[in-house]
Amino acid sequence: MKRILVPTDLSELANRALPVAVRLARQYDADIFLVHYLPFAIVDPGLTEAPTAITTYLNDREEEVEAELTQLARHPDFQGVTIHPVVKRSDRGLFGMLIDQPADLIVMASHGSSGLEEWLFGSNAEHIVQQAHCPVLIIKEQSGPFDPTNAICAIDADDRLKSHPTWPFHLSDGVRQFVYVMTPTDGRVTDGIRQWMAEFAATKQITDYDLTIFADSNVPDGIIHFAESRGADLILLFTHQKSGLLHLVSGSVAEDVVNHATIPVLVMPVA
């Protein structure tokens, strides 16, 4: 892991992700790219009819943001870590801009969303999880310092997980707790799930693990309820990214967990 991307709108919540990224960067000798998106599509003024005053204002704003990012990157607590302030203008929006940036990990903070807001807009974290091509670590507003020692991993017994890299960074006590959420409409046989888990563990060289088949009304709630019952401090899960009508109809387990969990969530995309 050499490139960690930290998107920020310079709010107090968003900036909570940076200390977590710094901790990981120190561990892996990685560079951090602290990225702020300016929601304006600016092109050469000579090719547009945009008033010069507007162009000047936006250029000044870019300089102000870059200065704020630089000041944040120079915080004494972050000494010894290379942090690159990046201000991006994009006509593809925040999410299009982020997925264009090469990264081994994205770290961001989120308060999630709920109710009508979630149905209409979702959260920034949700949209990034939908589109990112690398793991995304979501730091929650309610969570304390990031030092997980009691992680749980949700599985769906998809064979694609067996060939997927396990975790993007080392977890101090490893990952020993796995959960498969069994819903009322799930027709899988429990023996088959346990056999799949044994094969998965063998491919990942996991010798000491516990698999719980946890009954709940739906998968996202089951993952969150299981994590709460075990006092977990990190949820790990894989996401099979969808788009278009399929996503509109079925949604995504990862996005629902990201929106409603109160502890950090690490989401790993599977092709």
Residues whose CB falls within 8 Å of the CB of residue 11, separated by 6 or more in sequence, listed in order: none
Q: Which two tokens stand for residue 230?
A: 């075990």
**Among 140, 129, 138, CA closest to 95:** 129
Q: Biggest alpha carbon distance in the chain?
A: 69
How many Cα atoms sit within 13 Å of 26 on the Cβ side?
9
Q: Which two tokens stand for residue 74?
A: 């120079």
Confidence (pTM)? 0.86
DSSP 118-141: HHHT--HHHHHHHH-SS-EEEEET
As a whole number of angstroms, the distance between CA 103 and CA 99 comes to 9
Query: Is the distance from CB of 101 to CB of 36 less than 8 angstroms?
Result: no
- CATH topology for 3-110 is Rossmann fold (3.40.50)
Q: Which two tokens stand for residue 163?
A: 């060939």
pLDDT score of 179:
97
Is 182 strand, coil or helix? strand
Q: Which residue, chain included where needed, has tokens 């203008």?
A: 89
Residues whose CB falls within 8 Å of the CB of residue 195, separated by 6 or more in sequence, listed in order: none
Low-confidence ranges of the chain (pLDDT < 70): 39-51, 54, 90-97, 111-124, 126, 142, 172-173, 241-251
Same fold flag, 3-110 and 151-270: yes
Q: What confidence tens digit (pLDDT) does each residue in 214-250 have?
A: 999 999 999 999 999 999 999 999 887 654 443 333 4
Q: Please report, for residues 16, 17, 85, the alpha-carbon distance to residue 75 in angstroms, rounded to integers and kept in the order given.
A: 13, 14, 13
pLDDT score of 96:
67
Residues whose CB falls within 8 Å of the CB of residue 249, separated by 6 or more in sequence, listed in order: none
Is 219 strand, coil or helix? helix
Q: Which two tokens stand for residue 205?
A: 């060289």
Q: Which two tokens stand for residue 244?
A: 């278009």
Residue 20: CB atoms within 10 Å: 21
Residue 199: CB atoms within 10 Å: 13
Domain 151-270 architecture: 3-Layer(aba) Sandwich (3.40)
Q: Where are the domains of the chain?
A: 3-110, 151-270
pLDDT score of 172:
65
